[in-house]
Amino acid sequence: MRADALRLRHAVHGRALDARAEGVLTERYGLRGPTRARGLLRSVAREHGLATVELAAAVAHTPPPRPGEKWFPGDGPAAPPAVRFVSGPRDRTLSLSAFLDALRDAVCGITHTDMANVQLIDADDHTLRMESHRGYPAEFVRFFAVVDDTTTACGQAARKRARVVVDDVATASVFDEPSRAAVLAVHIRSVQCTPIPGVAGGPQGMVSTHHTRPGHTYTPGELDALDGVAREAGEWLDWYRGSRLEDALEDLHRRAQSPPA
């Protein structure tokens, strides 16, 4: 499926999630119609550094709070896990985009390339969305902004839940012809894609690196290092999604019970 069609499918799916969450909030809290619910979703998502569709998906899929209680009673989210490739203090202030950029730069250093990207997998429609990239022309980024799991090396790695190494893009069977042409057009000949593991066992994202010569080889030490940063990234992303979404849902719960200003 081509990038434009995938982006359209993803957008339609996102709008459906938004509408579902608005309906849940309107009914649960007795709000005066979806406009109030939409405003709450957008403002809370913005203040917590989330996309509206992320918060909407959490509202739609998370068991509701008990009447008169906090949504998530307890001591609050745990501290973030240690991540060796991120410099600075280990606290809750690091943004998702800054973390993904640090991950991207780490895999560039490990594999000695200036071309790398990080994708996250949408849990609902299973597409891979490029969230951080370095070293690619604009046409490459546009073409691979959203991909499915059937026509690219990263998609095959996501489907197999295992790293995929492509020695020569020109002959590799993992690409369909439009994807192959888009990669060769920017003079990329070899690729590796390493899954970022998630708590459920399946991948939640992908780190990919590219080289301009066919037959690029990776040492055992490089592959071990890629696995290590992917594991750390998976642990941090699990923490981030859990803590950030819990904070946002609790805030949404509190605001929805308060009369509008």
What is the structure's pLDDT at 71? 93
Q: What digits encode the pLDDT tens for the residues 28-37?
A: 999 988 899 9
Instruction: Give me the pLDDT at residue 12, please.
Output: 56
Domain extents in the chain: 3-78+242-257, 96-240
- Give 89's pLDDT tier (boundaries 50, 70, 90): low
The amino acid occupying position 85 is F
Highest mean pLDDT among 61-65, 165-169, 239-243: 165-169
How large is the C-alpha radius of gyration of the chain? 20
Query: In this structure, which CATH number among 3.40.50.1000, 3.40.50.880, 3.10.450.50, 3.30.450.40 belongs to the domain 96-240?
Result: 3.30.450.40
State phi, psi for 195 to the nearest 5 degrees: -70, 145
Beta-carbon contacts of 173 under 8 Å, excluding residues fewer than 6 positions away, are none
- Residue 40 is predicted with a pLDDT of 96
Closest CA to 247 of 76, 59, 95: 76
The per-residue pLDDT for 32 is: 87
pLDDT class of 90 with cuts at 50, 70, 90:
low
Residue of higher predicted confidence among 8 and 154: 154
Q: In which order are the strands placed within the sheet that holds 146-147?
A: 146-147, 128-134, 116-121, 203-211, 190-197, 164-166
pLDDT digits (tens, 9 = 90+) for 91-143: 566 888 899 999 999 999 999 999 999 999 987 778 899 999 999 999 999 99
Asked whether the predicted pLDDT for residue 1 surpasses 70, the reply is no
